[in-house]
């Protein structure tokens, strides 16, 4: 909620600017909706929802003007005019832009917020006791963290040894050059006669067991005239390495208890994973939610692609590119943030609240799955994985019957894709990148919006 400090001069600029008429003067001080959510809880038509900023918005297409929200508001902020519900704060921040005495109370400690709520009783003695639970994304933790087997991309040569030796197939190495030796030396490891050294085959020692041919991860070994040939080119291998993040999201989504996280490590018991329609459906959900898509099913419908933290990849890496690491994030984003709200949409733990020009992260909820960073269109959120999603296409239109012409969408659009035409705000889809900033900031739910993602090239 936004509150007014003792710097208020009663100029009422915040009242004039508020698009939802959620602010009023009481005894010379500006008071407003406290975003307690009571209106949301009592609405019989589910016409009031919590938006990405932590405020509340009325879906006027669902609202029938019954007035239950108005009668239930503990601070008498809600009022209905011509069938339109007003007085609910959407946390858009416009009041703070025009008046320095208006501040976001989520930045205050809980004791100060409680003091403010108690002050409402003095300012409005006819109001019933304000008994509002204090909710905040503030955490005592300084960092969200996870322990995982991480890759130093500067050292990694994409040879594929880690992928080959991973017992749960939790590492995917992809190279652009097919059929060319990556110098993984797996052929040397598995040659029963020691006939291969440094990529050179000793034909006198080779027994043509074909073990190297059948196990070469790059398909760079061939047989010609009873001789083993290794195709090598003196060039850098290009591609990517993706591995399980050990975030534990798959275990959280598992419904039969077969995949769990024990002391920070993933553990799977296939005997508990009995094949059924429900288990297949649950597998699909788990695989779809895997941030890096390493989780997959085997031919007998068992799960693979989860890291068990055995350290085998670290042991076999020839370049010290794999290591057990602690990955931390303090919840901060770069100045490139455009308040698009995609991170809020995709976060599987509801750990992110949108702010103007930034985000607020509940570090107690964050599991470091990096889904937010993977989808961030401006790379404003740090991530370790090389997996990246980008916006493929979308649809964006303003419902003129719901639009209140507040201009918030126009102000926040990073591409100036919202223009005025014939006295109405409309979306110029030639310029729209479908980021969603307009949709999230809209206090009247006036946007008809869809978006699709695809793997970034």
pLDDT of res. 7: 78
Examine the fold and report which residue of 91, 123, 155 is the final residue of a domain before the chain moves on.
123
Confidence band, pLDDT 50/70/90 cuts, at residue 122: very low
Query: Is the model more confident about 178 or about 171?
Result: 171
Lowest mean per-residue pLDDT among 18-32, 198-212, 262-276: 18-32
The residue-averaged pLDDT of 162-178 equals 95
Dihedral sign, Cα of residue 188, residue 217, residue 299, residue 278: positive
Distance CA 351, CA 383 (A): 16
Q: Which residues pair with 260 in a beta bridge?
A: 267
| CB 190 within 8 Å of CB 210 | no
Residue 116, pLDDT above cutoff 60: no
pLDDT in tens, 70-84: 999 999 999 999 989
pLDDT in tens, 360-377: 999 999 999 999 999 999
Residue 93, pLDDT above cutoff 90: no
Same domain (yes/no): 88, 19: yes
Same domain (yes/no): 89, 187: no
Same domain (yes/no): 29, 101: yes
Confidence band, pLDDT 50/70/90 cuts, at residue 105: confident
The residue-averaged pLDDT of 232-256 equals 93
Residue 159, pLDDT above cutoff 80: yes
pLDDT in tens, 386-396: 999 999 999 99
Same domain (yes/no): 204, 118: no
pLDDT of res. 97: 87
Query: Is the model more confident about 27 or about 194?
Result: 194
Residue 134, pLDDT above cutoff 60: no
Q: Residue 83 to residues 15, 56, 58, 373, 398: CA-CA distances in angstroms?
A: 21, 18, 12, 41, 21
Same domain (yes/no): 97, 32: yes
Does the residue 262 lie in any domain? no
Tokens of 215: 């196990």
Does the residue 24 lie in any domain? yes
Distance CA 332, CA 316 (A): 35
pLDDT of res. 355: 87
pLDDT of res. 107: 61
pLDDT of res. 101: 81
Q: Residue 138 to residues 33, 44, 50, 346, 396: CA-CA distances in angstroms?
A: 21, 31, 18, 20, 33
Q: Tell how strand 200-201 and strand 265-268 pair up.
A: unpaired
Termini Cα distance of the chain = 41
Q: How many CA atoms lie within 13 A of 272 on its CB side?
A: 10
What is the percentage of the chain residues whose pLDDT exceeds 90? 75
Same domain (yes/no): 116, 24: yes
Lowest mean per-residue pLDDT among 121-125, 211-215, 417-421: 121-125
The DSSP result for 309-363, as a single string, is ---HHHHH-TTS-EEEEEEEE-S---TT-----HHHHH-TT--EEEETTEEEE-T
Distance CA 120, CA 298 (A): 61
Highest mean pLDDT among 14-18, 108-112, 248-252, 441-445: 248-252
Over the chain, what is the mean pLDDT?
Answer: 90
Residue 297, pLDDT above cutoff 70: yes
Examine the fold and report which residue of 236, 251, 267 is the final residue of a domain before the chain moves on.
236
Q: Which residues pair with 125 in a beta bridge?
A: none
Does the residue 231 lie in any domain? yes
Query: Is the model more confident about 357 or about 310?
Result: 310
Same domain (yes/no): 14, 111: yes
Rg (CA), the chain: 28
The residue-averaged pLDDT of 205-209 equals 96
Does the residue 398 lie in any domain? yes
Confidence band, pLDDT 50/70/90 cuts, at residue 171: very high
Does the residue 253 lie in any domain? no
The domain of 444 spans: 389-455
Does the residue 218 lie in any domain? yes
pLDDT of res. 191: 96
Query: Is the model more confident about 134 or about 210?
Result: 210
* Domain containing residue 440: CATH number: 3.30.70.20
**Count: domains in the chain:** 3
Query: Is the model more confident about 235 or about 354?
Result: 354
Does the residue 131 lie in any domain? no
- The DSSP code for 422 is T
Q: How many CA atoms lie within 13 A of 456 on its CB side?
A: 16
Q: Is 457 exposed, middle or buried (0-12, 13-18, 19+ CB in 10 A)?
A: exposed
What are the residues whose beta carbons fall under 8 Å from the beta carbon of 437, sequence distance 6 or more? 338, 339, 340, 341, 409, 412, 413, 414
- The closest of 322, 177, 161, 154 to 237, measured between CA atoms, is 177
Residue 126, pLDDT above cutoff 60: no
Examine the fold and report which residue of 236, 264, 285 is the final residue of a domain before the chain moves on.
236
- The closest of 78, 84, 49 to 64, measured between CA atoms, is 84
pTM assigned to the model = 0.84
- The DSSP code for 114 is H
Does the residue 292 lie in any domain? no
Same domain (yes/no): 16, 116: yes
Q: Residue 432 to residues 10, 78, 187, 391, 426: CA-CA distances in angstroms?
A: 39, 34, 52, 11, 11
């Amino acid at each position: 909620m936004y509150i007014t400090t003792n710097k208020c001069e009663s100029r009422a600029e915040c009242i004039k600017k508020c698009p939802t008429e959620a602010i009023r003067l009481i005894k010379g001080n500006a008071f407003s909706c406290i975003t307690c959510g009571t209106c949301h809880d009592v609405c019989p038509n589910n016409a009031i929802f919590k938006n990405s900023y932590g405020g509340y918005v009325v879906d006027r297409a669902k609202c029938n003007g019954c007035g239950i929200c108005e009668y239930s508001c503990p601070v008498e902020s809600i009022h209905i005019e011509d069938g339109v519900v007003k007085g609910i704060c959407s946390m858009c921040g416009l009041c703070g832009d025009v008046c320095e005495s208006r501040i976001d109370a989520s930045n205050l400690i809980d004791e100060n917020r409680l003091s403010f709520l108690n002050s409402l009783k003095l300012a409005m003695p006819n109001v019933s006791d304000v008994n509002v639970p204090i909710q905040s994304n503030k955490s005592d933790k300084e960092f969200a963290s996870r322990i995982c087997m991480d890759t130093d991309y500067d050292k990694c040569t994409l040879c594929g040894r880690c992928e080959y030796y991973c017992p749960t197939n939790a590492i995917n190495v992809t190279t652009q050059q097919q059929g060319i030796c990556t110098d993984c030396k797996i052929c040397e490891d598995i040659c029963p006669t020691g006939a291969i050294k440094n990529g050179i085959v000793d034909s006198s020692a080779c027994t043509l067991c074909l073990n190297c041919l059948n196990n070469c991860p790059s398909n760079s070994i061939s047989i010609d005239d009873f001789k083993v040939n290794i195709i090598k080119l003196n060039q850098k291998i290009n591609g990517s390495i993706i591995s399980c993040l050990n975030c534990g999201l798959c275990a959280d989504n598992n419904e039969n208890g077969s995949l769990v996280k024990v002391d920070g490590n993933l553990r799977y018991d296939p005997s508990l994973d009995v094949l059924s329609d429900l288990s297949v459906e649950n597998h699909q959900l788990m695989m779809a939610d895997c941030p890096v898509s390493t989780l997959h099913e085997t031919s007998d419908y068992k799960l693979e692609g989860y890291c068990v933290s055995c350290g085998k990849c670290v042991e076999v890496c020839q370049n010290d590119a794999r290591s057990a690491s602690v990955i931390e994030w303090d919840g901060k984003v770069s100045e490139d943030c455009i308040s698009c709200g995609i991170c809020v949409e995709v976060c599987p733990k509801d750990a992110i609240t949108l702010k103007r020009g930034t985000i607020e992260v509940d570090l107690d909820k964050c599991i470091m799955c990096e889904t937010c960073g993977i989808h961030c269109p401006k790379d404003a959120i740090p991530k370790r994985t090389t997996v990246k999603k980008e916006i493929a296409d979308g649809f964006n239109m303003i419902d003129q019957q719901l639009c209140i012409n507040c201009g918030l969408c126009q102000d926040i659009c990073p591409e100036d894709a919202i223009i005025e035409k014939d006295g109405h705000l409309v979306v110029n889809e030639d310029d729209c990148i479908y980021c969603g900033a307009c949709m999230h900031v809209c206090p009247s739910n006036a946007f008809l919006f869809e978006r699709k993602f695809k793997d970034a090239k």
